[in-house]
A = this chain, B = another copy of it.
Amino acid sequence: MQKLISLEEAVEAVLGCVQSVGREEINLSSALGRIIAEDIYAPLDLPPFNRSPLDGYAVKSGDIARAAPDRPVELEVVLEIPAGSYSPLELKSGQAVKILTGAPIPSGADAVIRFEDVEVLGDRIKVFKPLSAFGNYCFRGEDVKKDELVIRAGSLINPSAVGMLAALGFKRVSVHSVPRVALVATGDELTDIGEELAPGKIYCSSLYALIAELAEAGAQVRSTKIVKDDLQLIAGEIAKALKDSDMVITTGGVSVGDYDLVKDALDSIGAEVIFHRVNIRPGTPTLLAVKDDKVIMGLSGNPAAALISYHLIAKPAIYKLAGRRNYEFESTVGILENDFNKSSKQRRFVRGQAYLEQGILKVRLTGKQNPGIMKSMLTCNALIDIPANTPYVKSGSQVKVILLNTL
């Protein structure tokens, strides 16, 4: 039995084995969810010109400094500028320009009086109150200044980032390529969905859950394979999977029984096993190997165990491969809503549902915690980190929590 390493050592080991994949240039319209590959500096000011935030009249604030209800100031309307127009006109004293929301404020004007605040008399307006300099005036560059760093390399392109890149006129963006992952599910008991379930068989749920998790993490699953418990077959499938992917994930075959063959298969193809067992529960028999600078992660055959060790150990590696700047999970604390009474020598990660109640993070257990139980994964959005040898945790206690979908 090999020495168990800690979760933190396991994560460090796998992160040490992966580098971000290459980059490519794509259209902004397909960039949602991708990871930006370069720092984005603004190629222009936002807004690109001094702009009116409302419909009104651009004026010189000095002209109306003494305007009052009983002593209105009259100005001559010399031009109208709708949004999208531009005039090189230089406003002179005594003049006003009718201007609409979003239109450039003409040079010489330093304030915009609302429509509602003037009286229109043909081509003249009466102004009844003063407006300070730069009242209702949006400055060129007040949002973003040209050459300002706007989005850092390694950021996820979310809808707001798409909006910002569009505002700056980017039609193409440089992003990291999508990491390619191959999945190899091992086990004589596995049956693919759509097939009849013979006695003693189960459906290969982890395979489908992992395909979905990988898609959410920004990876593409290049190939999936269900393989019998046969050393040659497993070795052959892993070797094949390595050719066309950046990472291989296996499920099953990593315990210590007679039919736990993934480690032997990896040895037989010359992969170097970095660690085999991690001091967490579930997910103890998680395995990391490297071949041709590519990582093979062996996860448990139990679906919940496979998914939990995926979240804790494999996902940070996927994030790093994908080029994300932040790839390690973060812990916070929450208040446990139930008693948890199972002690173990190992650190446990317990399935929970985190929620906010009056701004306080709370977490309730989602049900049975055995490594083969799927139902408690369904509503699980958080893992509760319970230290080794903790005899029990009373409801109301503060516990360490890892949120699976970050805030």
A residues lining the B interface (CB < 8 Å): 28-29, 32, 44, 46-49, 51, 53-55, 81-86, 100-104, 115, 138, 142-144, 150-151, 158-171, 187-190, 193-194, 197-213, 215-216, 229, 255-259, 301-303, 307, 332-335, 354-361, 368, 370-375, 377-378, 380-381, 398, 401, 403, 405, 407
Could you write out 22 A-B pairs with CB less than 8 Å apart?
A48-B201, A53-B372, A55-B255, A84-B188, A86-B198, A100-B257, A101-B255, A101-B301, A102-B302, A115-B257, A143-B368, A144-B374, A159-B307, A163-B206, A163-B212, A163-B303, A164-B375, A165-B208, A167-B203, A335-B359, A359-B401, A361-B361
Say whether B257 contacts A55, CB under 8 Å: yes
Instruction: Report the separation of the CA atoms of residues A101 and B260 in the bound assembly, to the nearest whole angstrom.
Output: 10
Instruction: Report the separation of the CA atoms of residues A361 and B51 in the bound assembly, to the nearest whole angstrom.
Output: 37
Q: Chain B contacts of A372 at CB under 8 A?
A: 47, 51, 53, 102, 138, 143
Say whether B407 contacts A161, CB under 8 Å: no
Count of chain copies: 2
Say whether A211 contacts B86, CB under 8 Å: no
Say whether B378 contacts A151, CB under 8 Å: yes
Q: Chain B contacts of A205 at CB under 8 A?
A: 163-164, 166-167
Q: Chain B contacts of A398 at CB under 8 A?
A: 359
Say whether B160 contacts A209, CB under 8 Å: yes
Say whether B358 contacts A333, CB under 8 Å: yes
Say whether A208 contacts B374, CB under 8 Å: no
Q: In angstroms, how far is the closest chain B Cβ from the Cβ of A248? A: 19
Instruction: Report the separation of the CA atoms of residues A355 and B361 in the bound assembly, to the nearest whole angstrom.
Output: 11
Say whether B374 contacts A359, CB under 8 Å: no
List the 4 closest pairs (A to B, CB-CB), nearest first: A163-B209, A84-B188, A86-B200, A84-B189
